[in-house]
A and B are shown apart, each in its own frame.
Chain A
Amino acid sequence: MQRRTFLQTLSLASLAGTIPSISFNTFANTLSGESVKDLPPLQGELTLYLGRGEGGLYEDVLNAIKKRNPEFTLKIRRGPTAALANMLLAEAKAGVSRADLFWAVDSGAIGQVANAGLAKPLPAEIMQQFSPEFRFNNWAPVSGRIRTLPYNPSKVGNKQLPKSIMELPNCDLSIAWAPAYASFQSFVTAMRLIEGEEATLQWLTAMKRKARKYAGELGVVMAVERGEADIGLANHYYTLRLKAGKPDANLQLAFTNNDAGCLVNASGVISLTENKTAVDFIRYLLTTEVQTYLANEAYEIPLAGNVVPPRGIPALDKISPPQIDLTKLADLRPTLSLIRKAGVL
Chain B
Amino acid sequence: MNTWPKSYIVAALIAATALFPVGVLLSLAADSTQVFDAYNIQVLVNTVLLMLITACGAVLLGVPLAILLTYVQIPWKKFWLVLLAAPLAMPSYLGAFTFYAAFGYSGEISQLTGIETPTFEGLFGASVIMILYTYPFVLLSTRAALSSLDASQVYAARTLGMSLFKSLWHIALPRVANGIAAGALLASLYALSDFGTPAFMGLDTFTRVIYVEYNAFGLSQAAMLSLQLLVIVALVLYLESRVKGSQEPPGRHLLFWPNKKQTLLMITAIIPVILLAIVLPIGIFSLWLWRDGLGNFELAYAWHSAQASMLAAAAAMIIALPLAHASLRGKAGRLMERIVFVGFGIPGIVMGTALVYVGLQLPFLYQTLGLLVVAYLLRFLPLAIGSIRTATENLDTTTVNAARILGASPNEAFRRITLPLTMRGVIAGGALVFLEAMRELPATLLLGPTGYETLATYLWRVYEAGYFGLAAIPGLLLIFISALGLILMLTGERFNDLELNKESKAR
Contact surface of A with B, Cβ cutoff 8 Å: 47, 52-56, 59, 75-80, 82-83, 86-87, 89-91, 94-96, 98-99, 180, 212, 214-216, 218-219, 222-223, 226, 228, 332-333, 336-337, 340-341, 345
Would you call B296 and A59 a contact (CB within 8 A)?
yes
Binds A, one of B59-67, B177-185, B464-472: B464-472
B216 proximity list for chain A (CB < 8 A): 82-83, 86, 332-333
CA distance A91 to B450 in the complex (A): 14
Q: Is the CB of A75 within 8 A of B296?
A: no
Query: What is the distance, in angstroms, from A327's C-beta to the closest C-beta of chain B?
Result: 17
A22 and B296 alpha carbons, distance in the complex (Å): 35
B202 close to A (CB within 8 Å) = yes
Chain A hits for B268, CB < 8 A:
none
CB contacts (< 8 Å) of B296 on chain A: these are 56, 59
Pick the contact of B105 from A83, A218, A228 — CB < 8 Å?
Answer: A228
> Does B82 sit at the interface, judged by CB under 8 A?
no
Give the residues in chain B near A228, CB-CB below 8 Å: 105
Q: Which residue of A75, A180, A219, A340 is within 8 Å of B106 (Cβ)?
A: A219
Contact A80 B450 (CB under 8 A): no
Whether the pair B367, A340 counts as a contact (CB closer than 8 A) is no
Cβ–Cβ contact A82 & B215, under 8 A: yes
Give the contacting residue for A78; candidates B42, B461, B467; CB below 8 A: B461
Q: A87, B217: Cβ atoms under 8 Å?
A: yes
State whether A83 touches B219 (Cβ < 8 A).
no
| Closest A residue by C-beta to B464 | A52
Known contacts A56-B467, A75-B450, A76-B450: does B363 contact A94 (CB below 8 Å)? yes
Is the CB–CB distance between A337 and B39 below 8 Å? yes
The residues in B between 285 and 321 inclusive whose CB is less than 8 angstroms from any CB of A are 296
* Nearest CB on B from A50, distance (A): 10
Does B360 touch A at the CB level, under 8 Å? Answer: yes
How far, in angstroms, from A333 to B467 measured CA to CA in the complex? 27
| Residues from chain A with Cβ under 8 Å of B462 in the complex | 55
- As a 0/1 sequence over residues 366 to 405 of chain B, the CB contacts with chain A under 8 angstroms (1 = contact) are 1100000000000000000000000000000000000000
Instruction: Verify if B161 is at the interface (C-beta below 8 Å from A).
Output: no
Additional 17 contacts, C-beta under 8 A, given A55-B462, A82-B215, A223-B105: A53-B465, A56-B296, A76-B450, A77-B451, A78-B461, A79-B215, A80-B464, A94-B360, A94-B361, A94-B363, A98-B450, A219-B106, A332-B216, A340-B42, A341-B39, A345-B202, A345-B204
A75→B363 contact, CB < 8 A: no
Which residues from B are CB-within-8-Å of A99? 450
Query: Are A90 and B219 in contact, with the CB atoms below 8 A?
Result: yes
| A49 CB → nearest B CB, Å | 8
Assembled-state Cα–Cα distance A332/B219 (Å): 16
